[in-house]
Structure 1
Amino acid sequence: MKFSYIGALCVFMTLIAAAQCIPCNECWVVGGTECCDVNIIECPILPEQPELQCMTMSEYCVVDDKELRSMRKTCGNQLCNLCITLTTGHGFNVRASTQCNSTNADLNFTERCNNLTTNGLKCPSCYEKTTDGCKDVGTVDCVQGETQCVDYAGEVQFSDGSVNPLSFKGCIVTGGCDVGFLGLPGSKEIKRTTFNCTAAN
């Protein structure tokens, strides 16, 4: 079995700093809720993140009323045990649920991120298939956990393999702007032209 980059990093850190590692399952399946083809990776426990655990992420986003689902397992990080949400109110929304544990068991827990109630905050909202940005067409009500407004424009590859220009404004979960496109299920950022965040009002 070949060493992964993370595994090699862990070996290197162990040699020079007596770092500890934990083995975690690694997989990513698109369009399903279980990972069957699993690799084992060694996740380094860093001094600034001693609570590192294995993470399972059940996720989906809705693009033009098309639901894109995926399930992934990897090293845990600041995304542990929360709902990752992004709400535009205009045909593009993200809901993902993460859980960190020692067994990395198969879980399907997106349901806990559904039916979220509004929190009284609002953000400018819009959604267009362009990399030039979109103009506000009103506001959207933020839901539980969303305390920031995001303004994004770029080009993104979604979990179905399609590459799309994308511009949106809406509410995003606290800390979501720090995570960036790691919070978009099954997605890969190709190009970014705008990414700004402000406090929701």
Structure 2
Amino acid sequence: MMRSLIVSITIFCAILWTGDALCCQQCKAVGEDCSGKTVECENENDVCAQAIEYDRVGGEVRSAAFRGCWNLTVVCNHLVTVNTTGYELDIYYDCCETDGCNSGPMEVPPRNTTENGLYCKSCFVEGSYDCPGYVPIACTGDQGDCLEFHGDATFPGGVEKKYGFAGCTITGACYVGFSDLVGTTVGAFSNLTCPEGNKIYFDN
């Protein structure tokens, strides 16, 4: 079944093809998967991508899926993670470079939960921009930065609320900013930083 789908996409791309750009399946939805039409990418440097975002907020897991043309290749095939005292985020972009290659099953690699020695100031509050206080949280895997967010956000399938949170994230997350979010959206007021002052060092 999957092979037939890929063959059909390849044939359809041959009909659409007007240059060197790829053809990719395009869709976006709340949930763990989506399907849609095949489109030709606008930019020759685009790759095809399929991505999943998982948000764990107060014990509830929300997810969003994406397939389409993608040019932010710095996040390709790397698990983006955030850990705070009340919120966790996982985003994974599986990128490929042939027509219709983003139509397969969506899978997210497991988190590396081994503590790496870094601690960050952490907090989470819903309904306010300001955290009432901070506690240390242990970073894991390749989390090398301490992130802090204050602003309006809407998690997949939810409504916009005020949030303030801080914790661990992968190195370079603040450079990418909000560009790799799959289903979460941020409002007009939002501030994301990775302050060095949020890193905590304990004496051995």
TM-score interval, smaller chain: 0.7 to 0.9
Structure 1 match to 2:8: none
Gap change, CA 1:164 and 1:106, over 3 Å in 2: farther
Distance 1:135 1:30 in 2: 31
Count of aligned residue pairs for this structure pair: 176
Instruction: Tell whether 2:129 aligns with 1:132.
Output: yes
CA displacement at 1:108 relative to structure 2: 2.6
Q: TM-score, normalised by structure 1?
A: 0.78
Structure 2 match to 1:23: 23
Q: Secondary structure of 1:178's partner?
A: helix
Structure 1 match to 2:68: 74
Q: TM-score, normalised by structure 2?
A: 0.77
CA displacement at 1:191 relative to structure 2: 2.8
Q: Secondary structure of 1:21's partner?
A: coil
Structure 1 residues 115-152: Cα deviation after superposition (integer angstroms, max 9, x where no partner): 53221111100000144321442111111121111111
**Given that residues 156 and 191 in structure 1 are in contact (C-alpha distance below 8 angstroms), is that contact kept between their aligned partners in structure 2?**
no
**Given that residues 123 and 142 in structure 1 are in contact (C-alpha distance below 8 angstroms), is that contact kept between their aligned partners in structure 2?**
yes
Matches within 5 A, 1:67-106: 67-76=61-70, 77=72, 78-88=74-84, 90-101=85-96, 102=98, 103-106=101-104
- Percent identical pairs in the alignment equals 25
CA displacement at 1:39 relative to structure 2: 4.2
Q: Secondary structure of 1:81's partner?
A: coil
Structure 1 residues 58-98: Cα deviation after superposition (integer angstroms, max 9, x where no partner): 2211111110011111223221000010000x221101222
Q: Secondary structure of 2:76's partner?
A: coil
**Given that residues 84 and 183 in structure 1 are in contact (C-alpha distance below 8 angstroms), is that contact kept between their aligned partners in structure 2?**
no
Distance 2:188 2:137 in 1: 26
Structure 2 match to 1:54: 48
Please give the root-mean-square deviation of Cα atoms over the aligned residues, in Å.
2.2
Structure 2 match to 1:44: 43
Gap change, CA 1:75 and 1:36, over 3 Å in 2: closer
Structure 2 match to 1:5: none
**Given that residues 85 and 93 in structure 1 are in contact (C-alpha distance below 8 angstroms), is that contact kept between their aligned partners in structure 2?**
yes
Distance 2:116 2:38 in 1: 40
Q: Give the number of the structure whose alpha-carbon radius of gyration is greater.
A: 2
Q: Secondary structure of 1:181's partner?
A: coil
Structure 2 match to 1:149: 146
Instruction: Tell whether 2:192 aligns with 1:198.
Output: no
Letter of the 2:82 counterpart: L
